[in-house]
Amino acid sequence: MRMAALRLRVADPDALAAFYREALGMSVQIEGANRRVGYPGRDADLLLMPGGGGYHHDRGQRYWKIGITLPDVDLAVDDLRQKDVPVSAPGQFLDIGYMCHLNDPEGFGIELLQHDFEGNRPVGAASPDAPFAKACIGQITLRTGDIAAEDAFCQSMGLSLLSMQDVEPYGFDLHFYAFTADKSPNPDLWAVENREWLWKRPYTTLEFQHIPNARFAPVPDYLGAEVEGLADPQKDAFGDPWLPT
């Protein structure tokens, strides 16, 4: 099985697809009124579906963002700024990763997350002429107040827990699941050494930001996930749909 797509309802699929193509180097496929955008490989696409508009994110919502993993965040930021795309200054966030953030033109959040921590990036990791050439959609991020319920659903679907990350200064922890037989280098899933390994995976992980006992609002423009190999539609622990491709 494979996490195949994140489904988002948007105001203008054509215009938004053009942003993902021109700013972030994704390809675009036309599927009726929908636009499927993504990178080549085993990671998930974004399925942009008409009928949205007026999306506004806040921290009380279930859906948060996508994460794009890539070899050199600094080159990607330089490229985006040359295209007049607003993006935050990159930096090392605790012992999690070297990253920055931006929003697409309809307000959906995007995190750029480097394969290696600050100071660990190999020389020549990416080409300045093609900073997104080795990128993939590495994370689909949701929020939860009940990680036990999320874990039970993920385990029932056959996803593997690859990493847990304590972000105690900010009052949450992170949990990463994927359809894979890969094993983290350190069997202690809280271990920091697993993190750079995780950011190099070529497939999409489902990331939960867990704030114990918090309650989150549904996001009408988040329409769930498509899963390759899924036999029948399912609903996750929050009630959002998972659909066969």
Which pLDDT score, from 0 to 100, does residue 10 have? 98
pLDDT surpassing 90 at residue 8: yes
| Residues 88, 105: Cα–Cα separation, whole Å | 15
Residue 8 resides in a domain: no
Residue 129 resides in a domain: yes
Residue 240 resides in a domain: no
Residue 46 resides in a domain: no
Which pLDDT score, from 0 to 100, does residue 54 have? 82
Residue 199 resides in a domain: yes
Sign, CA dihedral 167-173-178-182, equals positive
Judge whether 137 and 38 are in contact, CB under 8 Å. yes
Which pLDDT score, from 0 to 100, does residue 234 have? 98
Which pLDDT score, from 0 to 100, does residue 53 have? 85
> Does residue 112 sit in helix, strand or coil?
strand
User: Using one digit for the tens of pLDDT, what is the confidence trace for 206-233?
Assistant: 999 999 999 999 999 999 999 999 999 9
User: Using one digit for the tens of pLDDT, what is the confidence trace for 10-59?
Assistant: 999 999 999 999 999 999 999 999 999 999 999 999 999 999 988 999 99
Residue type, 197: W
Residue 144 resides in a domain: yes
Total tally of structural domains belonging to the chain: 1
Do the strands 109-114 and 172-178 form a parallel or antiparallel pair, or are they unpaired? unpaired
Residue 168 has a CB neighbour count (10 Å cut-off) of: 8
Beta bridge partners of 208: 142, 175
Residue 71 resides in a domain: yes
Token output for 147: 């990680």
Compute the average pLDDT of residues 167-185: 97
- Give the CATH number of the domain where residue 190 resides: 3.10.180.10
Average pLDDT, the chain: 97
Q: Which domain holds residue 138?
A: 54-219
Residue 196 has a CB neighbour count (10 Å cut-off) of: 16
User: Using one digit for the tens of pLDDT, what is the confidence trace for 110-126?
Assistant: 999 999 999 999 999 99
* pTM confidence score: 0.97
Residue ranges of the alpha helices (H) in 125-165?
A: 147-157
Q: What is the DSSP letter of 169?
A: G
